[in-house]
Amino acid sequence: MTQKPFVLCIIGPTACHKTEVSIQLAKRLNGEIISADSVAVYRRLDIGSAKPTIEEQQAVPHHMIDVADITDTDYSVARFCQQARDAIESILSRGKLPIVVGGSGLYSDAIFSEMRFCAPSDPAIRSRLEKEYRTDADAVFDRLRRLDAVTAERLHRNDAKRIIRALEVYEVSGKPFSEWNETFVKVQEEGERYRVFRCGLDMDRAKLYERINLRVDRMFENGLKQEAFSLFDEGLSPRYPALQAIGYAQLYEAYRGAVTLEEAKEQIKLATRHFAKRQLTWFRRNKQTKWYFTDQFESMDACIRAIEQDVKANAK
């Protein structure tokens, strides 16, 4: 029986050294990186998505960054999945190690098994919900918060497409969309197309939150406000799913004068900390992940060496 191709997958919450670790491992293991980040796929969202720098991307080939335009409202997990798999096959054909890296759990998971979305649909219900949303978007979003708080928490109230989809699933099935997502994860674990070594990065929660706060401060120093405001000046706004990402959504409120810039910054920090908690909840569902607490090693190099040894052992 032919052995499945080996792929390394590095996951973990935001600000936990994924970029640093993945680049160093790619250099040591003759690898190339496939980004599994739902925001980094969009062009021009550079600072807020914490994309690897130009220098980092030149040091190691990166894939699945800047593959969609902000105005592309139809970019989906399914399209990402096919493009990422094509990248993996290309990397394997050149005798290199594919390294999937990211904090978007659904994106990283979906690469490794057939997409089998179980959630039902009903065009008539969807059409009615779309009309209701156009009439009173806030009321529709508040209904989702009552019926499926888990899904509502991760969506911006301007994300019409996903809000309507979540309510459609609830009305058709009587079950929250968040529970269908859990079913999807269980389906994925049944049959993967690659041999995957999942490396999870984590650290003490207080230290992680401190790193998140510092990273947001650094984003502002590097021009996050200017990056976002220049997009809003062009007439782009959170009506595009790409700009509902953390950072851009909060800065849009500052742009239109609803909050101060400092208030927006604090909201970004809070939203990012909450996002990190949700990331960890998602990733810990997969019991095959081996976790590395980066703050428990004497240095990042020691952590990277430990992961490197485990990757080599599992790749045999």
Residue-range domain boundaries for the chain = 6-113+189-315, 123-181
CATH, domain 6-113+189-315, list 1.10.10.60, 3.60.10.10, 3.40.50.300, 3.40.50.12590: 3.40.50.300
Q: What is the pLDDT of residue 40?
A: 97
pLDDT in tens, 214-233: 999 999 999 999 999 999 99
Q: What is the pLDDT of residue 186?
A: 47
Cα separation, 6 vs 4, whole angstroms: 6
Q: What is the pLDDT of residue 74?
A: 81
Least confident of 104-113, 139-148, 293-302, 306-315: 104-113
Q: What is the pLDDT of residue 161?
A: 86
- pTM of the model as a whole: 0.82
Indicate if the pLDDT at residue 120 is higher than 50. yes
CB atoms within 10 A of CB 126: 17
Fold that domain 123-181 belongs to in CATH: Histone, subunit A (1.10.20)
**What is the pLDDT of the chain when averaged over all its residues?**
91
pLDDT in tens, 255-309: 999 999 999 999 999 999 999 999 999 999 889 999 999 999 999 999 999 999 9
**When comparing pLDDT for 125 and 52, which is higher?**
52
Q: What is the pLDDT of residue 170?
A: 86
Which ranges of 100-197 does DSSP label H, i.e. alpha helix? 105-110, 123-135, 137-147, 149-153, 160-173, 177-188
